[in-house]
Structure 1
Amino acid sequence: MAQTAISSIKSNYDNLNNTEKRIADTIIANPTIAHDFTIQELAVASNVSSASVSRFVKHIGWDSYRDFSVALASHEDSNVFFGEIAETDSTKDIIQKVFSGATNALTTTLEMLDTTTFTAAVDLICNAKTVGLFGIGGSSLVAFNGYHKLLRTSINVQQHPDYDIQLMQAVRMTKQDVGIVISHSGRNHDTLTIAEKLKENNVKTIAITSFAQSPLAKLADISLVSIAEEVNFRAESMSSLIAQLTIMDSLFTAVGFQLGSKTQVVVDNIRNAIEKTRVSK
């Protein structure tokens, strides 16, 4: 099963060298894509040599890349849909598996999240003139969540669901600003166009993605990676989405804490304004 292949990576992760960790990150980020890679394609996606991939699979306990790839793909042959949900599962089983997937995604992402990199992202946000949040499709939910949260700080923040407006916003940003770009795959053409425009304007960019070696991650100044064992495009990458929302919430909390009293003033004003819209008991 794919889980066994992924588990073999995770159990050996701390013993991998930097090159092998790049390969591991690429596979863990999305096994449903990685299992279709030839050894050469995985090498290119991970920015390593084919020989490094061959050594990697042997290091984590597989006799050959073919054996590893078959194990990674084996879940495609089973009678399942939405990741690990089977047709015979009861409602209780489905609920438990969805919650388990979310829990695994949060736990794994937390374990992989580098504190130094995260702190650097917080510093960029705190010192930005304007923070723009960009995401398309499901990623727009994460962008809007960040916008909704960062409105409670003293930071000037902008976000819009329409792609054309996002592109215009990106074109208008400057080196004094920061862009937070969200994409599960890190390969969406429109999202990459926005990231490229930001880079052209020397805007510091923070990527939130599931692929550590994706084009978006490589374009960004800082990349925060969400990881889920059950990542599956057919299921809209639900587990990864939960992890990305939590990364955004963590950024907001750390930013708010760092800005201190400035944030508290905004929070109090917003709370008072919202309270006036509520019907009294």
Structure 2
Amino acid sequence: MDGETQGSGALATEGTLPPTDDIRDALRGIREGAGEGTVRIIDMILNRPLDVLGMTLIEMAEAASVSDSMVIKVLKRVNLTGFQSLKIALAHSLGSPTNAIHEDLSRGDDYGTIIRKTFGANVQALLDTELTLKPELLGQAVEILSKAEKIDIYGIGSAAPIAEDAYYRLIRIGLDARISTDSHLQVTTASIANKKTAVLTISHSGSTLETLDATKLAKKAGAKVVVITGYKQSPIQQHADVVLQTRARETKFRTEAMTSRIAQLAIVDALIAALALRHYDSSLATLNTTFEALSLRRV
């Protein structure tokens, strides 16, 4: 949960506003005489509220050059229990239409409310990721995958289904790909990678040991690496040539990794579309061939 700690009963509950009508007024009230780190945190929230709404706790702490625990300490001073509480309060303060999207599930929610909140979180993940995804980075990823003789795809745990989808989509447009969702197989394929190999690694945290080790090994062997991940500063990025970042927001019952799956799929979709257009004629021919083969499997 982004390293957040639970507050005492005297603090505002998750998803509620602090006693003041405007969280920004509360922050201004504690700014005077505060230390440099606290001032940087408050100024970032006051001056860049929309950016803060799209950040994780770790990203905001890095942007303010403070620790994540210090951010939480400042938030507790204005009766917020954690970073998600800040986002909700800030959205209310701005009169933002996204405040309903940030809402967490509550015990008394009916099925209609559950649908609205769940779909809203997924929609917001897509919108946030679209704003984060830079066209030039997508272009660089397409360049790497296009030039490779073989594409190895790595993904474990919740990233495995996304890796499977990427593999299926790549072979449908005629690119030579293979998938490794087993840690031993990942290390094996990584050890025999070379300069003609491209690696597509999918890892929300960017710190899953098995995927990190395989990606590092493939890079050392000479492969070009494209990573889809949710964090700007994660261990796996040290071994990536191109990083395509997802953005997702954590709630009580849905971790960022869960919500990020829809954003990961969207990035894969964009990659496949760009690759197919790059190799238009051959992709179309392969799609037609595979479609005809699959049609024989239908009743």
- Tell me which interval the TM-score lies in, with the shorter structure as reference length: 0.7 to 0.9
Identical-residue share of aligned pairs (%): 24
Of residues 68, 76, 87 in structure 1, which corresponds to 2:107?
Answer: 87
Aligned 1:1-281 pairs, distance under 5 A? 11-13=49-51, 28=55, 30-31=56-57, 34=58, 42-43=61-62, 49-50=65-66, 66-68=73-75, 71=80, 73=82, 75=84, 84-230=104-250, 235=255, 237-279=257-299
Amino acid aligned to 1:92: G
TM norm structure 1 = 0.76
In structure 2, how many angstroms separate the alpha carbons of the residues matched to 1:139 and 1:72?
Answer: 30
SS at match of 1:85: coil
Q: What number of residue pairs does the alignment pair up?
A: 244
Distance 1:242 1:7 in 2: 28
Q: Which amino acid aligns with 1:139?
A: A
Larger CA Rg, structure 1 vs 2: 2
Give, in angstroms, the shift of residue 235 of structure 1: 3.8
Q: Secondary structure at the match of 1:205?
A: strand
Alpha-carbon contact 1:231-1:239 (below 8 Å) kept = no
RMSD: 3.5
Q: Which amino acid aligns with 1:177?
A: T
Summarize the Cα distance change of 1:113–1:128 in structure 2 as closer, same or farther, 3 Å threshold. Answer: same
Q: 1:168 to 1:100 in 2, by over 3 A?
A: same
* Separation in structure 1 between the aligned mates of residue 124 and residue 193 of structure 2, nearest angstrom: 37
User: How many angstroms does 1:169 deviate by?
Assistant: 1.0
Higher relative contact order (CA 8 A, sep 6+): 1
Range with bigger deviation, 232-241 or 191-200: 232-241
**AA matched with 2:105:** I
1:27-73 CA-to-partner distances (Å, cap 9, x unmatched) read 82x43xx39xxx9xx44xx7x854xx89xx9xxxxxx8732477471
Q: Offset of 1:228 from its aligned partner?
A: 1.4
Distance 1:101 1:245, change over 3 A: same
TM-score, normalised with respect to structure 2: 0.71
- 1:237 Cα deviation after fit: 2.5
Distance 1:87 1:180 in 2: 39
